[in-house]
Structure 1
Amino acid sequence: MSSYKLCINTGLGFDLPMAERLALVKKAGFDGFFSEWRPGAPVAEWAARAKELGLIYQSIHAPFNNVDKIWEEGPDGEAFLKVLMDCVQDCADHQVPLAIVHAIIGFDKHTPSDLGIERFERLCRFADDRNVYLGFENTEGEEYLAKIMTELKGHPSTRFCWDTGHEMCYNRSKDMMALYGDQLIGTHFNDNLGITGSEITWHDDSHLLPFDGVANWQGIMDRLRRHQFKGPLTFELTRTNKPGRNTHDPYAAWDYGTFVNQAYDRAVRVAAL
Protein backbone atom coordinates (compact mmCIF):
# COMPACT_ATOMS: atom_id res chain seq x y z
CA MET A 1 0.00 0.00 0.00
CA SER A 2 1.34 3.43 -0.94
CA SER A 3 2.32 5.81 1.87
CA TYR A 4 1.25 8.80 -0.22
CA LYS A 5 -2.05 10.59 0.21
CA LEU A 6 -3.78 11.06 -3.17
CA CYS A 7 -5.59 14.24 -4.25
CA ILE A 8 -7.29 15.46 -7.42
CA ASN A 9 -8.73 18.63 -8.94
CA THR A 10 -12.49 18.96 -8.83
CA GLY A 11 -13.51 20.44 -12.20
CA LEU A 12 -12.34 17.68 -14.54
CA GLY A 13 -14.28 19.15 -17.44
CA PHE A 14 -17.71 18.53 -15.91
CA ASP A 15 -20.54 20.82 -14.84
CA LEU A 16 -21.64 19.42 -11.49
CA PRO A 17 -22.33 21.03 -8.08
CA MET A 18 -19.24 21.03 -5.86
CA ALA A 19 -20.95 19.05 -3.09
CA GLU A 20 -21.66 16.21 -5.53
CA ARG A 21 -18.14 16.34 -6.94
CA LEU A 22 -16.56 16.07 -3.49
CA ALA A 23 -18.78 13.15 -2.52
CA LEU A 24 -17.72 11.28 -5.67
CA VAL A 25 -14.04 12.16 -5.12
CA LYS A 26 -14.32 10.66 -1.62
CA LYS A 27 -16.20 7.60 -2.87
CA ALA A 28 -13.52 6.92 -5.50
CA GLY A 29 -10.91 6.68 -2.73
CA PHE A 30 -9.10 9.99 -2.95
CA ASP A 31 -7.85 11.56 0.28
CA GLY A 32 -8.28 15.16 -0.84
CA PHE A 33 -8.73 17.70 -3.60
CA PHE A 34 -7.88 21.15 -4.85
CA SER A 35 -10.24 23.74 -6.25
CA GLU A 36 -10.06 26.58 -8.72
CA TRP A 37 -10.71 30.07 -7.33
CA ARG A 38 -12.38 33.25 -8.48
CA PRO A 39 -13.35 36.39 -6.55
CA GLY A 40 -16.39 35.55 -4.45
CA ALA A 41 -15.83 31.78 -4.61
CA PRO A 42 -17.73 30.01 -1.78
CA VAL A 43 -14.57 28.62 -0.19
CA ALA A 44 -16.20 28.45 3.25
CA GLU A 45 -18.92 26.19 1.85
CA TRP A 46 -16.39 23.96 0.08
CA ALA A 47 -14.18 23.72 3.17
CA ALA A 48 -17.17 22.79 5.33
CA ARG A 49 -18.20 20.06 2.88
CA ALA A 50 -14.63 18.75 2.81
CA LYS A 51 -14.60 18.57 6.61
CA GLU A 52 -17.89 16.64 6.61
CA LEU A 53 -16.44 14.11 4.19
CA GLY A 54 -13.03 13.89 5.85
CA LEU A 55 -11.24 15.19 2.74
CA ILE A 56 -7.99 17.17 2.73
CA TYR A 57 -8.44 20.59 1.11
CA GLN A 58 -4.96 20.38 -0.35
CA SER A 59 -4.74 23.71 -2.20
CA ILE A 60 -6.52 26.48 -4.08
CA HIS A 61 -5.43 27.35 -7.61
CA ALA A 62 -5.20 31.12 -7.99
CA PRO A 63 -6.33 32.79 -11.22
CA PHE A 64 -3.64 33.33 -13.85
CA ASN A 65 -5.48 35.06 -16.68
CA ASN A 66 -3.81 38.45 -16.10
CA VAL A 67 -0.67 37.44 -14.22
CA ASP A 68 1.51 38.92 -16.98
CA LYS A 69 0.30 42.35 -15.84
CA ILE A 70 2.17 41.85 -12.54
CA TRP A 71 5.41 42.36 -14.47
CA GLU A 72 4.27 45.53 -16.27
CA GLU A 73 3.83 49.16 -15.29
CA GLY A 74 0.30 50.34 -14.64
CA PRO A 75 -2.78 49.78 -12.49
CA ASP A 76 -3.64 46.39 -14.00
CA GLY A 77 -0.64 44.85 -12.25
CA GLU A 78 -1.70 46.23 -8.88
CA ALA A 79 -5.26 45.09 -9.48
CA PHE A 80 -4.17 41.53 -10.23
CA LEU A 81 -1.85 41.47 -7.23
CA LYS A 82 -4.93 42.28 -5.13
CA VAL A 83 -6.73 39.30 -6.72
CA LEU A 84 -3.86 37.00 -5.72
CA MET A 85 -3.83 38.42 -2.19
CA ASP A 86 -7.58 37.83 -1.87
CA CYS A 87 -7.04 34.21 -2.89
CA VAL A 88 -4.30 33.80 -0.27
CA GLN A 89 -6.59 35.37 2.32
CA ASP A 90 -9.28 32.80 1.50
CA CYS A 91 -6.69 30.07 2.01
CA ALA A 92 -5.76 31.51 5.40
CA ASP A 93 -9.36 32.00 6.49
CA HIS A 94 -10.32 28.39 5.72
CA GLN A 95 -7.15 26.51 6.70
CA VAL A 96 -6.09 25.69 3.15
CA PRO A 97 -2.29 25.58 3.42
CA LEU A 98 -1.31 26.21 -0.19
CA ALA A 99 -2.16 28.57 -3.06
CA ILE A 100 -0.97 27.55 -6.55
CA VAL A 101 0.32 30.51 -8.57
CA HIS A 102 1.53 30.92 -12.15
CA ALA A 103 4.50 33.23 -12.65
CA ILE A 104 3.45 34.30 -16.17
CA ILE A 105 1.04 33.73 -19.02
CA GLY A 106 2.07 34.13 -22.65
CA PHE A 107 4.51 32.30 -24.90
CA ASP A 108 5.98 35.57 -26.17
CA LYS A 109 7.03 36.77 -22.69
CA HIS A 110 10.73 36.45 -21.83
CA THR A 111 11.77 39.56 -19.87
CA PRO A 112 10.88 39.49 -16.18
CA SER A 113 11.08 42.90 -14.52
CA ASP A 114 12.23 44.13 -11.14
CA LEU A 115 8.74 45.63 -10.72
CA GLY A 116 7.26 42.15 -11.02
CA ILE A 117 9.62 40.83 -8.36
CA GLU A 118 8.70 43.74 -6.07
CA ARG A 119 5.02 42.88 -6.45
CA PHE A 120 5.52 39.15 -6.00
CA GLU A 121 7.62 39.88 -2.90
CA ARG A 122 4.63 41.74 -1.47
CA LEU A 123 2.54 38.65 -2.18
CA CYS A 124 5.14 36.46 -0.48
CA ARG A 125 5.22 38.68 2.60
CA PHE A 126 1.41 38.63 2.69
CA ALA A 127 1.46 34.81 2.53
CA ASP A 128 4.29 34.55 5.09
CA ASP A 129 2.23 36.56 7.58
CA ARG A 130 -0.73 34.16 7.11
CA ASN A 131 1.22 30.87 7.12
CA VAL A 132 0.14 30.07 3.57
CA TYR A 133 2.56 28.54 1.07
CA LEU A 134 2.76 29.73 -2.54
CA GLY A 135 3.35 26.91 -5.01
CA PHE A 136 4.81 28.59 -8.11
CA GLU A 137 4.12 26.31 -11.04
CA ASN A 138 6.35 25.51 -14.03
CA THR A 139 4.63 26.86 -17.14
CA GLU A 140 5.77 28.66 -20.26
CA GLY A 141 8.09 31.61 -19.66
CA GLU A 142 10.65 29.80 -17.52
CA GLU A 143 12.60 33.03 -17.03
CA TYR A 144 9.82 34.35 -14.77
CA LEU A 145 9.74 31.27 -12.55
CA ALA A 146 13.54 31.30 -12.34
CA LYS A 147 13.60 34.93 -11.20
CA ILE A 148 10.96 34.30 -8.51
CA MET A 149 12.54 31.09 -7.22
CA THR A 150 15.99 32.70 -7.09
CA GLU A 151 15.23 36.20 -5.80
CA LEU A 152 12.39 35.31 -3.41
CA LYS A 153 13.75 32.02 -2.12
CA GLY A 154 14.29 33.49 1.34
CA HIS A 155 10.56 33.74 2.01
CA PRO A 156 9.05 30.73 3.85
CA SER A 157 6.09 30.85 1.47
CA THR A 158 8.11 30.61 -1.76
CA ARG A 159 7.77 27.02 -2.95
CA PHE A 160 7.51 25.02 -6.18
CA CYS A 161 4.55 23.11 -7.67
CA TRP A 162 5.69 20.54 -10.22
CA ASP A 163 3.40 20.07 -13.23
CA THR A 164 4.59 16.98 -15.10
CA GLY A 165 2.57 17.76 -18.21
CA HIS A 166 3.85 21.32 -18.45
CA GLU A 167 7.39 19.99 -18.12
CA MET A 168 6.89 17.71 -21.14
CA CYS A 169 5.62 20.41 -23.49
CA TYR A 170 6.16 23.95 -22.18
CA ASN A 171 9.59 23.13 -20.72
CA ARG A 172 10.70 20.75 -23.52
CA SER A 173 11.18 17.93 -20.99
CA LYS A 174 13.79 19.90 -19.04
CA ASP A 175 14.18 18.41 -15.55
CA MET A 176 12.40 21.07 -13.49
CA MET A 177 12.89 19.04 -10.32
CA ALA A 178 16.65 19.34 -10.73
CA LEU A 179 16.16 23.11 -10.60
CA TYR A 180 13.53 23.48 -7.89
CA GLY A 181 12.98 20.10 -6.25
CA ASP A 182 14.45 21.37 -2.99
CA GLN A 183 11.53 23.83 -2.79
CA LEU A 184 8.80 21.33 -3.80
CA ILE A 185 5.47 21.79 -1.99
CA GLY A 186 3.02 20.01 -4.30
CA THR A 187 2.44 18.26 -7.61
CA HIS A 188 0.14 18.55 -10.59
CA PHE A 189 0.55 15.07 -12.06
CA ASN A 190 -0.84 14.59 -15.58
CA ASP A 191 0.14 13.09 -18.92
CA ASN A 192 0.27 14.31 -22.50
CA LEU A 193 1.86 13.57 -25.89
CA GLY A 194 4.74 16.03 -25.52
CA ILE A 195 5.38 18.62 -28.23
CA THR A 196 3.24 17.61 -31.21
CA GLY A 197 4.01 20.37 -33.73
CA SER A 198 6.69 22.81 -34.78
CA GLU A 199 5.45 25.35 -32.25
CA ILE A 200 4.53 24.78 -28.60
CA THR A 201 0.98 25.86 -27.77
CA TRP A 202 -1.46 25.33 -24.92
CA HIS A 203 -3.12 22.65 -27.08
CA ASP A 204 -0.27 20.28 -26.12
CA ASP A 205 -1.10 20.72 -22.43
CA SER A 206 -3.76 18.03 -22.52
CA HIS A 207 -3.89 16.85 -18.88
CA LEU A 208 -4.55 13.23 -19.77
CA LEU A 209 -4.85 10.46 -17.22
CA PRO A 210 -1.48 8.91 -16.31
CA PHE A 211 -0.38 6.19 -18.75
CA ASP A 212 -2.50 7.62 -21.60
CA GLY A 213 0.39 9.75 -22.88
CA VAL A 214 4.16 9.44 -23.16
CA ALA A 215 5.23 10.39 -19.61
CA ASN A 216 7.89 8.26 -17.94
CA TRP A 217 6.04 7.66 -14.67
CA GLN A 218 8.79 5.51 -13.17
CA GLY A 219 11.24 8.32 -13.84
CA ILE A 220 8.83 10.88 -12.39
CA MET A 221 8.46 8.92 -9.17
CA ASP A 222 12.21 8.30 -8.97
CA ARG A 223 12.83 12.05 -9.19
CA LEU A 224 10.14 12.75 -6.60
CA ARG A 225 11.70 10.30 -4.13
CA ARG A 226 15.18 11.68 -4.80
CA HIS A 227 13.93 14.91 -3.22
CA GLN A 228 12.27 12.99 -0.36
CA PHE A 229 8.84 14.50 -0.98
CA LYS A 230 6.33 13.20 1.56
CA GLY A 231 3.28 15.32 0.75
CA PRO A 232 0.16 14.29 -1.14
CA LEU A 233 0.42 13.30 -4.80
CA THR A 234 -2.01 15.68 -6.45
CA PHE A 235 -3.37 15.02 -9.94
CA GLU A 236 -4.72 17.67 -12.34
CA LEU A 237 -6.80 16.02 -15.06
CA THR A 238 -9.63 16.69 -17.48
CA ARG A 239 -12.12 14.83 -19.66
CA THR A 240 -12.11 17.59 -22.29
CA ASN A 241 -10.26 17.75 -25.62
CA LYS A 242 -8.30 20.84 -26.53
CA PRO A 243 -9.52 22.55 -29.73
CA GLY A 244 -8.89 20.41 -32.80
CA ARG A 245 -7.68 17.43 -30.73
CA ASN A 246 -9.24 14.03 -30.07
CA THR A 247 -6.91 12.85 -27.29
CA HIS A 248 -9.74 12.67 -24.77
CA ASP A 249 -12.28 10.84 -26.94
CA PRO A 250 -11.90 7.62 -24.88
CA TYR A 251 -13.27 9.52 -21.85
CA ALA A 252 -16.25 11.09 -23.65
CA ALA A 253 -18.88 8.63 -22.44
CA TRP A 254 -17.74 8.69 -18.80
CA ASP A 255 -19.71 10.46 -16.13
CA TYR A 256 -17.99 12.19 -13.21
CA GLY A 257 -18.02 9.09 -11.01
CA THR A 258 -16.49 6.92 -13.72
CA PHE A 259 -13.80 9.48 -14.44
CA VAL A 260 -12.70 9.87 -10.82
CA ASN A 261 -12.74 6.08 -10.35
CA GLN A 262 -10.45 5.70 -13.38
CA ALA A 263 -8.29 8.55 -12.11
CA TYR A 264 -7.96 6.93 -8.70
CA ASP A 265 -6.89 3.62 -10.24
CA ARG A 266 -4.18 5.42 -12.23
CA ALA A 267 -3.10 7.43 -9.19
CA VAL A 268 -2.64 4.24 -7.18
CA ARG A 269 -0.53 2.78 -10.00
CA VAL A 270 1.67 5.89 -10.07
CA ALA A 271 2.11 5.94 -6.30
CA ALA A 272 3.19 2.29 -6.29
CA LEU A 273 6.06 2.81 -8.73
Structure 2
Amino acid sequence: MISIYDWFGYEVPIEDRYKLIKAAGFDGVLLWWSNGFGRGADYRDGVQYARNAGLIIENIHTPVQEQNKLSLDNLDGEGLIKCYLQCIKDCAEFDIPTMVVHLPDDKYPINELGMERIKRIVEKAEKLNINVAMENLRNIDNVTRVLDSIDSNKIGFCYDSCHHENYYSERDLLGKYGKRLMAMHLHDNGGVRGQHQLPFDGNINWERVMGEIEGSGYKGATTLEPMNWGYEDLSMQEFLSNAYKKAKKLEEKRIG
Protein backbone atom coordinates (compact mmCIF):
# COMPACT_ATOMS: atom_id res chain seq x y z
CA MET A 1 0.00 0.00 0.00
CA ILE A 2 1.20 3.52 -0.83
CA SER A 3 -0.05 6.54 1.12
CA ILE A 4 0.56 10.28 1.31
CA TYR A 5 0.01 13.03 3.86
CA ASP A 6 -3.09 14.93 2.77
CA TRP A 7 -2.14 18.55 3.49
CA PHE A 8 0.84 19.10 1.15
CA GLY A 9 -0.12 22.48 -0.32
CA TYR A 10 -2.37 23.82 -3.09
CA GLU A 11 -5.69 25.59 -2.64
CA VAL A 12 -8.13 22.89 -3.67
CA PRO A 13 -11.53 22.02 -2.16
CA ILE A 14 -11.08 19.17 0.28
CA GLU A 15 -13.40 16.78 -1.54
CA ASP A 16 -11.51 17.33 -4.81
CA ARG A 17 -8.19 16.91 -3.01
CA TYR A 18 -8.92 13.30 -2.12
CA LYS A 19 -10.25 12.50 -5.58
CA LEU A 20 -6.99 13.77 -7.09
CA ILE A 21 -4.92 11.76 -4.59
CA LYS A 22 -6.80 8.61 -5.54
CA ALA A 23 -6.57 9.37 -9.25
CA ALA A 24 -2.77 9.64 -8.94
CA GLY A 25 -2.66 6.04 -7.74
CA PHE A 26 -2.40 6.34 -3.96
CA ASP A 27 -4.17 3.78 -1.80
CA GLY A 28 -4.30 5.75 1.45
CA VAL A 29 -3.84 9.04 3.24
CA LEU A 30 -2.66 10.49 6.53
CA LEU A 31 -5.00 13.17 7.85
CA TRP A 32 -3.91 16.38 9.54
CA TRP A 33 -6.17 16.47 12.62
CA SER A 34 -6.75 20.08 13.60
CA ASN A 35 -7.87 23.40 12.19
CA GLY A 36 -4.27 24.68 12.23
CA PHE A 37 -2.07 25.58 9.27
CA GLY A 38 -5.07 26.72 7.28
CA ARG A 39 -6.78 23.33 7.42
CA GLY A 40 -10.08 24.80 8.59
CA ALA A 41 -12.74 23.83 11.09
CA ASP A 42 -14.10 21.12 8.80
CA TYR A 43 -11.06 18.85 9.14
CA ARG A 44 -13.15 15.95 10.47
CA ASP A 45 -15.14 15.98 7.22
CA GLY A 46 -12.00 14.71 5.52
CA VAL A 47 -12.67 11.23 6.87
CA GLN A 48 -15.79 10.72 4.78
CA TYR A 49 -14.42 12.56 1.76
CA ALA A 50 -11.31 10.36 1.76
CA ARG A 51 -13.32 7.17 2.10
CA ASN A 52 -15.78 8.28 -0.57
CA ALA A 53 -12.78 8.63 -2.89
CA GLY A 54 -11.75 5.05 -2.12
CA LEU A 55 -8.80 5.89 0.13
CA ILE A 56 -7.76 4.07 3.29
CA ILE A 57 -7.07 6.35 6.26
CA GLU A 58 -3.79 5.13 7.67
CA ASN A 59 -3.53 7.52 10.61
CA ILE A 60 -4.14 11.04 11.89
CA HIS A 61 -1.45 13.54 12.86
CA THR A 62 -2.28 15.20 16.15
CA PRO A 63 -1.84 18.98 16.62
CA VAL A 64 1.74 20.13 17.13
CA GLN A 65 1.45 23.79 18.14
CA GLU A 66 1.49 23.04 21.90
CA GLN A 67 3.74 19.96 21.85
CA ASN A 68 6.36 21.37 24.23
CA LYS A 69 3.86 21.91 27.06
CA LEU A 70 3.41 18.26 28.00
CA SER A 71 5.17 18.60 31.37
CA LEU A 72 3.78 21.97 32.44
CA ASP A 73 1.82 22.02 35.68
CA ASN A 74 -0.76 24.50 34.43
CA LEU A 75 -3.82 24.80 32.21
CA ASP A 76 -1.71 24.68 29.05
CA GLY A 77 -0.25 21.33 30.03
CA GLU A 78 -3.62 19.93 31.00
CA GLY A 79 -5.13 21.24 27.79
CA LEU A 80 -2.52 19.38 25.74
CA ILE A 81 -3.17 16.01 27.38
CA LYS A 82 -6.91 16.52 26.96
CA CYS A 83 -6.28 17.17 23.26
CA TYR A 84 -4.35 13.89 22.90
CA LEU A 85 -7.01 11.94 24.78
CA GLN A 86 -9.69 13.42 22.54
CA CYS A 87 -7.68 12.40 19.47
CA ILE A 88 -7.67 8.81 20.72
CA LYS A 89 -11.45 9.00 21.13
CA ASP A 90 -11.74 10.49 17.64
CA CYS A 91 -9.72 7.62 16.17
CA ALA A 92 -12.06 5.14 17.83
CA GLU A 93 -15.13 7.05 16.65
CA PHE A 94 -13.96 7.26 13.04
CA ASP A 95 -12.37 3.78 12.95
CA ILE A 96 -8.84 5.07 12.36
CA PRO A 97 -6.23 2.69 13.80
CA THR A 98 -3.31 5.01 14.59
CA MET A 99 -2.43 8.55 15.60
CA VAL A 100 0.98 10.25 15.43
CA VAL A 101 2.25 12.46 18.28
CA HIS A 102 5.12 14.93 18.57
CA LEU A 103 6.72 14.63 21.99
CA PRO A 104 8.43 17.81 23.26
CA ASP A 105 11.80 18.89 21.94
CA ASP A 106 14.67 17.66 24.08
CA LYS A 107 15.20 21.12 25.56
CA TYR A 108 11.88 20.47 27.32
CA PRO A 109 12.62 17.16 29.09
CA ILE A 110 9.60 15.12 30.08
CA ASN A 111 9.31 15.22 33.88
CA GLU A 112 7.31 12.98 36.19
CA LEU A 113 4.11 14.92 35.53
CA GLY A 114 4.69 14.50 31.81
CA MET A 115 5.17 10.75 32.28
CA GLU A 116 1.96 10.55 34.29
CA ARG A 117 0.21 12.17 31.34
CA ILE A 118 1.83 9.67 28.98
CA LYS A 119 0.42 6.90 31.18
CA ARG A 120 -3.05 8.43 30.76
CA ILE A 121 -2.52 8.22 27.00
CA VAL A 122 -1.48 4.57 27.33
CA GLU A 123 -4.54 3.72 29.41
CA LYS A 124 -6.92 5.34 26.93
CA ALA A 125 -5.14 3.85 23.90
CA GLU A 126 -5.30 0.35 25.36
CA LYS A 127 -8.94 0.76 26.33
CA LEU A 128 -9.99 1.92 22.86
CA ASN A 129 -7.46 -0.21 20.91
CA ILE A 130 -5.72 2.72 19.19
CA ASN A 131 -2.03 2.85 18.27
CA VAL A 132 -0.10 5.94 19.38
CA ALA A 133 3.12 6.48 17.41
CA MET A 134 5.79 8.85 18.76
CA GLU A 135 7.58 10.69 15.94
CA ASN A 136 11.28 11.52 15.91
CA LEU A 137 12.17 15.22 15.62
CA ARG A 138 14.56 17.19 17.86
CA ASN A 139 13.23 15.01 20.67
CA ILE A 140 15.12 11.73 20.65
CA ASP A 141 15.87 11.77 24.38
CA ASN A 142 12.17 12.24 25.11
CA VAL A 143 11.17 9.57 22.58
CA THR A 144 13.72 7.22 24.13
CA ARG A 145 12.41 7.84 27.63
CA VAL A 146 8.84 7.13 26.64
CA LEU A 147 9.46 4.07 24.46
CA ASP A 148 11.96 2.56 26.90
CA SER A 149 9.64 3.15 29.86
CA ILE A 150 6.28 2.13 28.39
CA ASP A 151 5.71 -1.57 27.81
CA SER A 152 2.53 -1.48 25.75
CA ASN A 153 1.78 -2.76 22.28
CA LYS A 154 -0.35 0.36 21.72
CA ILE A 155 2.60 2.76 22.09
CA GLY A 156 5.19 2.75 19.33
CA PHE A 157 7.31 4.68 16.87
CA CYS A 158 6.67 6.88 13.83
CA TYR A 159 9.86 7.03 11.75
CA ASP A 160 10.52 10.30 9.93
CA SER A 161 13.36 9.89 7.42
CA CYS A 162 14.22 13.57 6.97
CA HIS A 163 14.09 14.46 10.65
CA HIS A 164 16.42 11.53 11.30
CA GLU A 165 18.91 12.67 8.67
CA ASN A 166 18.79 16.33 9.68
CA TYR A 167 18.82 16.09 13.48
CA TYR A 168 20.20 12.76 14.75
CA SER A 169 21.73 10.91 11.81
CA GLU A 170 24.21 9.18 14.13
CA ARG A 171 21.41 7.45 16.08
CA ASP A 172 20.30 4.01 14.89
CA LEU A 173 16.59 4.70 15.35
CA LEU A 174 15.28 1.89 13.17
CA GLY A 175 17.71 -0.56 14.71
CA LYS A 176 16.44 0.35 18.17
CA TYR A 177 12.74 0.95 17.55
CA GLY A 178 12.01 -0.68 14.19
CA LYS A 179 10.16 -3.51 15.89
CA ARG A 180 7.77 -0.91 17.35
CA LEU A 181 7.21 0.90 14.05
CA MET A 182 3.56 1.93 13.63
CA ALA A 183 3.85 4.68 11.01
CA MET A 184 6.38 6.38 8.76
CA HIS A 185 6.91 9.76 7.16
CA LEU A 186 9.18 9.52 4.12
CA HIS A 187 10.52 12.75 2.64
CA ASP A 188 13.89 14.09 1.56
CA ASN A 189 16.02 16.92 2.88
CA GLY A 190 16.67 19.03 -0.21
CA GLY A 191 15.12 22.38 -1.10
CA VAL A 192 15.41 25.78 0.52
CA ARG A 193 13.78 24.53 3.74
CA GLY A 194 15.86 21.38 3.92
CA GLN A 195 12.87 19.11 4.44
CA HIS A 196 9.59 17.75 3.04
CA GLN A 197 11.02 17.28 -0.44
CA LEU A 198 10.05 14.36 -2.64
CA PRO A 199 12.28 11.30 -2.26
CA PHE A 200 15.45 11.27 -4.37
CA ASP A 201 15.53 15.09 -4.51
CA GLY A 202 17.85 15.39 -1.49
CA ASN A 203 20.72 13.57 0.19
CA ILE A 204 19.06 10.66 1.98
CA ASN A 205 20.39 7.19 1.21
CA TRP A 206 17.13 5.49 0.29
CA GLU A 207 18.70 2.09 -0.32
CA ARG A 208 19.78 2.06 3.33
CA VAL A 209 16.58 3.54 4.75
CA MET A 210 14.20 1.23 2.91
CA GLY A 211 16.40 -1.77 3.61
CA GLU A 212 16.30 -0.99 7.33
CA ILE A 213 12.53 -0.51 7.26
CA GLU A 214 12.05 -3.84 5.53
CA GLY A 215 14.51 -5.48 7.92
CA SER A 216 12.46 -4.24 10.87
CA GLY A 217 9.58 -6.48 9.83
CA TYR A 218 7.22 -3.52 9.30
CA LYS A 219 4.43 -4.50 6.92
CA GLY A 220 2.55 -1.19 6.81
CA ALA A 221 2.24 1.27 3.97
CA THR A 222 5.05 3.10 2.22
CA THR A 223 4.01 6.62 3.16
CA LEU A 224 5.20 10.00 1.90
CA GLU A 225 5.05 13.29 3.81
CA PRO A 226 6.11 15.89 1.23
CA MET A 227 5.13 19.51 0.79
CA ASN A 228 5.01 21.36 -2.52
CA TRP A 229 7.75 23.72 -1.30
CA GLY A 230 9.92 24.31 -4.36
CA TYR A 231 7.46 22.51 -6.62
CA GLU A 232 5.00 25.37 -6.99
CA ASP A 233 5.48 25.40 -10.76
CA LEU A 234 3.83 21.97 -10.90
CA SER A 235 0.08 21.56 -10.97
CA MET A 236 -1.39 19.50 -8.16
CA GLN A 237 -1.91 16.63 -10.59
CA GLU A 238 1.71 16.82 -11.73
CA PHE A 239 2.98 16.97 -8.15
CA LEU A 240 0.93 13.94 -7.13
CA SER A 241 1.95 11.98 -10.23
CA ASN A 242 5.61 12.68 -9.47
CA ALA A 243 5.12 11.78 -5.81
CA TYR A 244 3.44 8.50 -6.66
CA LYS A 245 6.23 7.46 -9.05
CA LYS A 246 8.82 8.13 -6.36
CA ALA A 247 6.78 6.27 -3.75
CA LYS A 248 6.58 3.27 -6.08
CA LYS A 249 10.34 3.39 -6.44
CA LEU A 250 10.69 3.34 -2.65
CA GLU A 251 8.22 0.45 -2.42
CA GLU A 252 10.34 -1.52 -4.87
CA LYS A 253 13.38 -1.03 -2.65
CA ARG A 254 11.46 -2.63 0.24
CA ILE A 255 10.61 -5.73 -1.74
CA GLY A 256 13.57 -5.79 -4.12
Q: Structure 2 unaligned runs (5+)? A: none
The aligned counterpart of 1:199 is: none
Query: Is contact 2:158–2:183 with CA below 8 Å preserved after alignment?
Result: yes
SS of the equivalent of 1:187 reads strand
The aligned counterpart of 2:7 is: 11
**Larger deviation: 156-165 or 170-179?**
170-179
SS of the equivalent of 1:71 reads coil
The aligned counterpart of 1:160 is: 157
1:50 alignment partner AA: A
Query: Is contact 1:160–1:183 with CA below 8 Å preserved after alignment?
Result: yes
Query: Is contact 2:70–2:110 with CA below 8 Å preserved after alignment?
Result: no
Query: Is contact 1:110–1:143 with CA below 8 Å preserved after alignment?
Result: no
1:53 alignment partner AA: A
Give matches, 1:1-273, under 5 Å. Answer: 5-38=1-34, 41-42=41-42, 44-105=44-105, 109=107, 111-152=109-150, 154-193=151-190, 203-204=193-194, 206-240=195-229, 248=230, 251-273=231-253
CA deviation vs aligned residue, 1:185-211 (integer Å, no higher than 9, x gap):
1110010049x9xxxxxx43x110000
Q: Return the alpha-carbon distance in structure 2 between the equivalents of residues 193 and 29 of structure 1.
A: 24
Deviation >3 Å, runs of 4+: 39-44
Query: Is contact 2:183–2:220 with CA below 8 Å preserved after alignment?
Result: yes
CA deviation vs aligned residue, 1:198-256 (integer Å, no higher than 9, x gap):
xxxxx43x11000000111111111011111111111100012xxxxxxx2xx121121
**TM (normalized to structure 1)?**
0.86
Q: Return the alpha-carbon distance in structure 1 between the equivalents of residues 196 and 219 of structure 2.
A: 23
Q: Return the alpha-carbon distance in structure 2 between the equivalents of residues 173 and 234 of structure 1.
A: 23
2:165 alignment partner AA: M
Query: Is contact 1:59–1:97 with CA below 8 Å preserved after alignment?
Result: yes
SS of the equivalent of 2:82 reads helix
CA deviation vs aligned residue, 1:61-82 (integer Å, no higher than 9, x gap):
0011112111222221111111
Q: Percent identity?
A: 30
Q: Shift in Å at residue 171 of structure 1?
A: 1.5
Q: Return the alpha-carbon distance in structure 2 between the equivalents of residues 215 and 84 of structure 1.
A: 32
**TM (normalized to structure 2)?**
0.92
Aligned length: 249
